[in-house]
Amino acid sequence: MKALRMDWNRAIGLLVVVGLHGGLLYGLWSVRVIPPPSEALTLFVSFVAPPPEPVQATAPPPKPAKPRTPPPKPAPKPEPHRHLAAQAPVLSPREIVEPTPEPVVEPVIAPAPAVPDPAPRAPEAPPAPPPAPAPAGPLTLPSELALGCPERTAPAYPRLSRRLGESGKVVLRVELDETGRVAGAQVASSSGSPRLDAAALAAVRTWRCRPAQRDGRGVRAIATQPFNFTLEGP
């Protein structure tokens, strides 16, 4: 009787183990793999580039001409003074009774000619102010960076951002050296996704731009560049 109870208990335990294994196999067979999305997404990355503002060239003002002053006229030479001398009559010794004093004739002095006053000089023009010193530091470009960069590539859309449906606009602040190469770049306005911001930074660091000019020489410059990340389906 005791042996019969032991066999019965073993049979019950064996049935329990078999039931657990069957439930486990059924659960594994019932698991379904979520199929990947079949719809394809089209990526568009566009630059926001407004038309460049026309630059009006201003001609330098003409220099005022200095008036010519006529040379002073030479003063006329004064005429020599004329002295009038009286001729004494020739008398014979008989006619001489008493010596008569000779009349005193005053010389006639001609008036000196009037000397004309010299012409007044025209006031001289004030000296031109010295040129303003060139501002120190990098030059800030008024337009977007893409307008002055002939060699540029669009940023690649991250795959994870595409799957998650991330989109937005990021604005970068880019600094160029004297040769037109990108010396540094940072995010001025984030798109809200670190992956999109990193893709824009990686793309703009490969750009090659024309160097900024100041007095005919290349200088460092700073410009901004926006990127629009958009997702559009078929």
Considering only CA atoms, which of 205, 181, 201, 180 is closest in space to residue 189? 201
**What amino acid is encoded at 152 in this protein?**
R
**What amino acid is encoded at 148 in this protein?**
G
Q: What is the pLDDT of residue 64?
A: 60
Q: Mind listing the pLDDT tens digit of every residue in the chain (234 residues)?
A: 656 667 777 888 888 888 888 888 887 776 654 445 544 445 555 555 555 565 555 555 666 666 566 666 666 665 554 443 445 455 554 555 556 666 666 666 666 666 666 666 767 777 777 665 555 678 898 888 888 899 999 999 999 999 999 999 999 999 999 998 999 999 999 999 999 999 999 999 999 999 998 888 889 999 999 999 998 754
Domain 139-234 maps to which CATH number in 3.30.2420.10, 3.40.50.300, 2.60.120.640, 3.40.50.2000? 3.30.2420.10
DSSP, collapsed to helix, strand or coil, labels residue 224 as: strand
Q: What is the pLDDT of residue 103?
A: 66
Distances (CA, A) of 70 to 111, 115, 125, 139: 28, 16, 19, 51
Within a 13 Å sphere around the CA of 36, how many CA atoms are in the beta-carbon half?
A: 4
Cβ atoms of 141 and 158 closer than 8 Å: no
Q: What's this model's pTM, rounded to 2 decimal places?
A: 0.43
Domains of the chain, residue spans:
139-234
Residue 145 class from Cβ within 10 Å (0-12 exposed, 13-18 middle, 19+ buried)?
buried
DSSP, collapsed to helix, strand or coil, labels residue 159 as: helix
Considering only CA atoms, which of 164, 163, 167, 144 is closest in space to residue 155? 167
Q: Cα–Cα–Cα angle for 56, 59, 62, nearest 5°? A: 160
Q: What is the pLDDT of residue 71?
A: 62
Distances (CA, A) of 148 to 133, 151, 170, 181: 26, 9, 19, 12
Q: What is the pLDDT of residue 221?
A: 93
